[in-house]
Amino acid sequence: MNRHSHRLSFIALSLLLSACTVGPDYQAPALNTPESFKQVAGWKVAEPAAQMPQNWWSLYGDAELGALIERLNANNQSLASAAASYRQAQAIVRGARAGFLPQIGLDTGVSRAGQGGGSSTIGTTEGVSVSGANAASVSKTYEASLGVSWELDLWGKLRRQLEADQASLEASAADLAAVRLSQQSQLVQSYLQLRVLDEQKRLLEATLAAYERSLKLTENQYNAGIVPKSDVSQAQSQLHGTRAQLIDLEYQRAQFEHAIAVLIGVAPSELSLAPRAGVPDLPVVPASVPSRLLERRPDIAAAERRVMSANAQIGVAEAAWYPDLTLSASGGYRNGGLDDWFSMPNRFWSIGPSFATVLFDGGLIRSQVEQAEAAYDISVADYRQTVLTGFREVEDYLVQLDVYTRELAAREQALESAREALRLVENQYKAGTVDYNAVVSLQASALDSERNWLSLKGNRLLASAQLITALGGGWQAGEEAASRP
């Protein structure tokens, strides 16, 4: 009875100690989060029913863009690398969980040992020593044993390590989402710029045709003696200059096409996007409140999970102050032959606990704890900086969209005025009331107005994609981490 009570006391003590967990419990770092964005005036604030769709690029209503995004999701190499890192983090968590279980091992072997052999003096006869030979003694031993060892997590070292690894897994999941969002955003922006260049090309081709007609008219007037040779030269110069702009535009378009090819995981030579008239419409982007940004941006979520991981590592480091308790047991059979292998005389066993602790380390553990604490402070600062950067990016793109929208309205008025002025001066030139310099000047002005208007329209589209990215796209906290290893 006394022996059983001691055993129960030992088990109860072990369970009590196993409830101890050294190190600080995690609390999310405090943040100074504003109630609203400064530039949100005039924007629709997102309601639960108006949140960004996961396939946020569908807001642009372009089926070809959606097909390219699907290819990116399947073949992008940066995304593949991030996915592999996530699987690696899952494996690390499974390894940490294995530390809570006993380790069982099997050990088998056979050995040979020898003793004696050679010659020795066995006596003397009439003063003469007599030698004899000793037979060598050789033995063979067979052994097989099964061992079990179990490290009890008395101080929470293993639990803190699992906590750190689990937080790192969640950070890796958010990293994967951040890479996906970044790559998707790059593709959307490259695609939008390519389509704007298609419109620029269409404009230049139409302008080139108009300049060719102007050159033909000027040559006819020169041949009739109405205008000087310099008017023909000016018309030719204007025509050739526009052709040069068109060639440069083709180079710019090729660069964006090549960038899209790499993003979808193919060589640039394997992708050709046919030119197309028109650019996508500006989507309606609901602006959320700053506190929601903390849940929507995967880079912020990843930074916060790294704070949690660093906090748990402090507990791992502090656990080194305390002794490790390992329970171990082994048993097996050892015999000089295989006969009667499982007989009782050939059996052996051992069982018992072992404690291991550090008595002196020259301050090593203290330095490791201080390193863990410093790493935690670094992660907190990085987290807060990531949040501030997120706030700044949203404010920047809100301002950009507002400025571009107002500037675009002014540019449209300037464009209409330039078109009307060009129409009037062309009629005057045909009537012979103005020289060709006036026509050239207004043609150049009208072309600049057209191109500036298109560029501004493209910049506003880019700003919308950048704002959607800054708001976290269609990502929501916990999406990737919902899949546990």
pLDDT at 134 over 70: no
pLDDT at 284 over 60: yes
User: Could you tell me which residue, 131 or 224, shows the higher pLDDT?
Assistant: 224
pLDDT at 130 over 60: no
Phi, psi of 218 (to 5 degrees): -65, -40
Looking at the domain assignment, is residue 350 inside a domain?
Answer: no
Q: What is the average pLDDT across 479-485?
A: 44
pLDDT score at 378: 98
pLDDT in tens, 303-327: 999 999 999 999 999 999 999 989 9
pLDDT in tens, 148-161: 999 988 899 999 99
Looking at the domain assignment, is residue 335 inside a domain?
Answer: no
Phi, psi of 326 (to 5 degrees): -125, 130
In order of 152, 269, 279, 287, the CA distances from 397 in angstroms are: 54, 34, 20, 11
pLDDT score at 52: 62
pLDDT score at 50: 43
pLDDT score at 295: 75
In order of 15, 131, 323, the CA distances from 156 in angstroms are: 12, 70, 12
pLDDT score at 288: 62
- 103 in Cβ contact with 150 (< 8 Å): yes
Looking at the domain assignment, is residue 409 inside a domain?
Answer: yes
Spatial distance between the Cα atoms of 53 and 471, rounded to a whole number of angstroms: 12
Looking at the domain assignment, is residue 140 inside a domain?
Answer: no
> At 38, is the pLDDT very low, low, confident or very high (cuts 50, 70, 90)?
low
CATH number at residue 208: 1.20.1600.10
Question: Would the pTM of this model clear 0.85, i.e. be above it?
Answer: no
Spatial distance between the Cα atoms of 178 and 181, rounded to a whole number of angstroms: 5
Q: What is the average pLDDT across 138-157?
A: 86
| Mean pLDDT value across the chain | 84
Looking at the domain assignment, is residue 146 inside a domain?
Answer: no
Spatial distance between the Cα atoms of 309 and 314, rounded to a whole number of angstroms: 9
pLDDT at 112 over 70: yes
pLDDT in tens, 87-111: 999 999 999 999 999 999 998 888 7
pLDDT in tens, 234-245: 889 988 998 998
Q: What letters, b where the CB count within 10 A reaches 16 and e where it falls short, cover 51-68?
A: ebeeebbebbebeebeeb
Looking at the domain assignment, is residue 105 inside a domain?
Answer: no
Looking at the domain assignment, is residue 346 inside a domain?
Answer: no
> At 274, is the pLDDT very low, low, confident or very high (cuts 50, 70, 90)?
very high
pLDDT at 129 over 80: no
- 250 in Cβ contact with 197 (< 8 Å): no
pLDDT at 133 over 90: no
pLDDT at 405 over 60: yes
pLDDT score at 339: 65
Which single residue is written with the structure tokens 């390193």?
A: 371
Give me the count of residues in the chain: 485
Q: Please state which of the ranges 2-6, 108-112, 138-142, 471-475 shows the lowest mean pLDDT.
A: 2-6
Q: Which of 19, 26, 319, 28 is nearest to 163 (CA)?
A: 26
How much of the chain, in percent, has pLDDT values that exceed 90?
46
User: Could you tell me which residue, 28 or 371, shows the higher pLDDT?
Assistant: 371
Number of domains in the chain: 1
Looking at the domain assignment, is residue 128 inside a domain?
Answer: no
Q: Domain range holding 449?
A: 20-99+156-322+364-482
Q: Please state which of the ranges 127-131, 282-286, 395-399, 411-415 shows the lowest mean pLDDT.
A: 127-131
